Amino acid sequence: MAEGGRRGFWEVMNNIDRRIIFLILAVCVTIPLIVSTGGEIKPTAPVIRAHASVESLSPGDYMMISIDFDATSAPELMPMLRAVLRQAFEKDVKIIMLGHIAIGLPLGHMALEQVAAEYDKEYGVDYVDLGYRPGYIAVMIAMGREIEDIFASDYQGTPLREMPVTADIHSYDDIDLLFGFEHGAVIDYWVRYTQARFDQRMTFGTTAVMAPDAYPYLQSGQIEGLVGGLKGAAEYETLIGQPGLGTRGMPAQQWAHLLVIGFIVLGNLGYYFTRKRGRGAA
Amino acid sequence: MGSTTMLIGTWIAGFLTLAIFSFLYKDNPVYKLAEHIYVGVSAGYWLIYVAFFDVYPMLIQGFQDETGLEKWILLVPGALGLIMLSRWFPRTAWLSRWPIAFTVGVGAGLGITANIQGYVMPQLQATLLPVTGWNIVSLNNVILTVGVITTILYFYFSKPHKGALGWMARVGIVFIMVSFGASFGYTLMARISLLIGRLYFLLSDLLHVID
């Protein structure tokens, strides 16, 4: 009887309606978002190195920011973009933004304008948005020769030479650090075509999905730092001392991970017991 | 005006978010509507961006402003771009092979050097790591080197995986499985992060339940 009851339980667990799982997950994420504002976060070495690469810049240095993501990755990459911009503007670093994913560039522009306003930075003097040009590789290689050949003007059509921030900017020789925000293979192009060919210093923030692919570049020293996923964003926010959505999302992330681990254990136990029962019946 | 626009935008975003989430219950017309809006808006966005950030400034305006060779050389990419459109007509579709061949040729030429210079050589160099005694760095270096060698050997199929080769290939599988596990873990983290982002938007911007 007891065995029959156990078998029934595992069979029910194995055939549970997936919508119940979705509902439990939604509750598990929603409640921590409402009741918790974030716990203690300990930054990891790749994020500390990314932070240090921006920290190494001096006032007046130039950082190129590449927006290589769109709305599908915004929850992960926007918090880290804002954190990096805050750190850069705090240090009076000049920002040159561009993008290789057309539909993501407005997101980058929104963050740029928002953070620039917080630090009273002026468009065309302290920062600029060059916009978008298709053809990743051609754009990257051509900028090594002359940026104006590819971006003759900013996204509004103002010529580069008419803005103080870009008046004397010609190539990667004038860019002190490149910080890319990636949700796809553009990071490979940046490293293989720009870092290798022009020896450009670069650091990246990536989605969690892309982070494992980016670690070899970090290990080989081709990139200086790596901020991976919302967890990385939370670590970066901790390092600059300004908690944001990354920090806010960590309790929900932890509970969701615990829930999924629980489901994985339950699923495997259910598979084990139902298979055992099947063998016994045979 | 600005706040009204923001409010309407937030409501539209909230409706579309809930419409997409409704697929988790089951497929329905509201989900389909949101999906089609997304595809349509994305395609329109790309078209506008390519037209106004590439074709007009780089080709049309460039042709008007430049002189000499810089001007006339623009006819080449312009012609190649127009030839690509020949794919629409079955009788002239073969012409589109020329711009495709040009793109593939340039891509392959650039890719070979970039992959050797920017990937193979630096990664090989980063695998040749020293063992400097009994410490954690040396242990890491040994694990990394063993992992690279055994994983490569797993994909060596010119000899049967028996004996020493078979043993090393099995070690390689362990490293591959650890890699898959790490990727799965990171992917899970990414998907949960996206859910957190959307729920935060609904709770904060739409419902004002949290700050």
Domain containing residue A142: CATH number? 3.40.50
pLDDT (tens digit per residue) in B30-73: 999 999 999 999 899 888 888 888 888 889 988 998 889 989 99
Say what the pLDDT of residue B50 is.
86
Q: Is residue B56 part of a domain?
A: no
Q: Let me know whether A264 and A209 are in one domain.
A: no
- Interval A66-89 mean pLDDT: 96
Q: Write out chain B residues lying below 8 Å of A30, CB-based.
A: 199, 203
Residues of B contacting chain A (CB within 8 angstroms): 24-25, 42, 45-46, 49-50, 53-54, 57-58, 107, 110, 114-115, 117-119, 122-123, 125-126, 144, 179, 182-183, 186-190, 192-200, 203, 209-210
Q: Let me know whether A69 and A176 are in one domain.
A: yes
**Interior/surface letters B89-127, b for 16+ CB within 10 angstroms, e for the rest:** eeeeeeebeebeeeeeeeeeebeeebeeebbeebeeebb
| Whether residue A282 has pLDDT greater than 70 | no
Residue with tokens 């012409």: B95
| Whether residue A173 has pLDDT greater than 70 | yes
Q: Are A233 and A205 in contact (CB under 8 A)?
A: yes
Gap between the Cα atoms of B71 and B76, Å rounded: 10
Q: Let me know whether A150 and A277 are in one domain.
A: no
Q: Do A212 and B203 touch (CB under 8 A)?
A: no
Chain B nearest-CA residue for A206: B190
Say what the pLDDT of residue B20 is.
95
Q: Is residue B195 part of a domain?
A: yes
Which residue range forms the structural domain that includes residue A29? 2-38+250-281
| Whether residue A1 has pLDDT greater than 50 | no
- Interval A187-203 mean pLDDT: 96
Burial class (CB in 10 A: 0-12, 13-18, 19+), A274: middle
Give me the percent of chain B exceeding a pLDDT of 70: 100
| Whether residue A275 has pLDDT greater than 70 | yes
Q: Is residue B115 part of a domain?
A: no
ipTM comes to 0.89
Gap between the Cα atoms of B128 and B145, Å rounded: 7
Q: Let me know whether A193 and A270 are in one domain.
A: no
Say what the pLDDT of residue A6 is.
55
Judged by a CB distance cut-off of 8 A, whether residue A229 touches chain B is yes
Count: domains in chain A: 2
Q: Are A105 and A77 in contact (CB under 8 A)?
A: no
Mean pLDDT of chain A: 92
Q: Let me know whether A65 and A110 are in one domain.
A: yes
Say what the pLDDT of residue B81 is.
92
| Whether residue A84 has pLDDT greater than 80 | yes
Q: Is residue B15 part of a domain?
A: no
| Whether residue A72 has pLDDT greater than 70 | yes
Q: Let me know whether A51 and A31 are in one domain.
A: no
Say what the pLDDT of residue A103 is.
86
pLDDT (tens digit per residue) in B106-152: 999 999 999 999 999 999 999 988 888 889 989 999 999 999 999 99
**Other residues' Cβ atoms within 10 Å of the Cβ of residue A162:** 11
Q: Let me know whether A155 and A238 are in one domain.
A: yes
pLDDT (tens digit per residue) in B68-107: 998 999 999 999 999 999 999 999 999 999 999 999 999 9
Q: Let me know whether A50 and A124 are in one domain.
A: yes
A–B interface: beta-carbon pairs under 8 A = 140
| Whether residue A269 has pLDDT greater than 70 | yes
| Whether residue A247 has pLDDT greater than 50 | yes
Q: Is residue B206 part of a domain?
A: yes
Q: Let me know whether A49 and A151 are in one domain.
A: yes
Give me the percent of chain A exceeding a pLDDT of 90: 80
Cross-chain CB nearest to A207 (options B46, B190, B210): B190
Q: Let me know whether A81 and A156 are in one domain.
A: yes
Mean pLDDT of chain B: 92
Q: Are B131 and A228 in contact (CB under 8 A)?
A: no
* Strands lying side by side in the sheet with A127-132: A127-132, A94-99, A62-68, A177-182, A202-206, A226-228
Q: Let me know whether A60 and A179 are in one domain.
A: yes
Q: Which of A10-19, A197-206, B123-132, B201-210 has the least mean pLDDT?
A: A10-19
| Whether residue B1 has pLDDT greater than 60 | no
3-state secondary structure chain B: CHHHHHHHHHHHHHHHHHHHHHHHCCCCHHHHHHHHHHHHHHHHHHHHHHHHHHHHHHHHHHHHHCCHHHHHCCHHHHHHHHHHHHHHCHHHHHHHHHHHHHHHHHHHHHHHHHHHHHHHHHHHHHHCCCCCCCCHHHHHHHHHHHHHHHHHHHCCCCCCCCHHHHHHHHHHHHHHHHHHHHHHHHHHHHHHHHHHHHHHHHHHHHCCCCC
Quote the strand ranges of chain A, DSSP E: 62-68, 94-99, 127-132, 177-182, 202-206, 226-228
> Could you tell me the CA-to-CA distances from A139 to A103, A108, A186 in Å, in that order?
17, 19, 12
Which one of A217, A220, A250 would you mutate to disrupt binding with B, by most B Cβ within 10 Å of its Cβ? A220
Q: Do B118 and A193 touch (CB under 8 A)?
A: yes
Say what the pLDDT of residue B93 is.
92
Which residue range forms the structural domain that includes residue B185? 131-211
Q: Write out chain B residues lying below 8 Å of A216, CB-based.
A: 123, 126
Quote the strand ranges of A124-197, DSSP E: 127-132, 177-182
Residues paired with A63 in a beta bridge = A95, A177
Q: Is A130 helix (H, G, I), strand (E, B) or coil?
A: strand
Cross-chain CB nearest to A152 (options B57, B122, B195): B57
Q: Let me know whether A158 and A201 are in one domain.
A: yes
Count: domains in chain B: 1
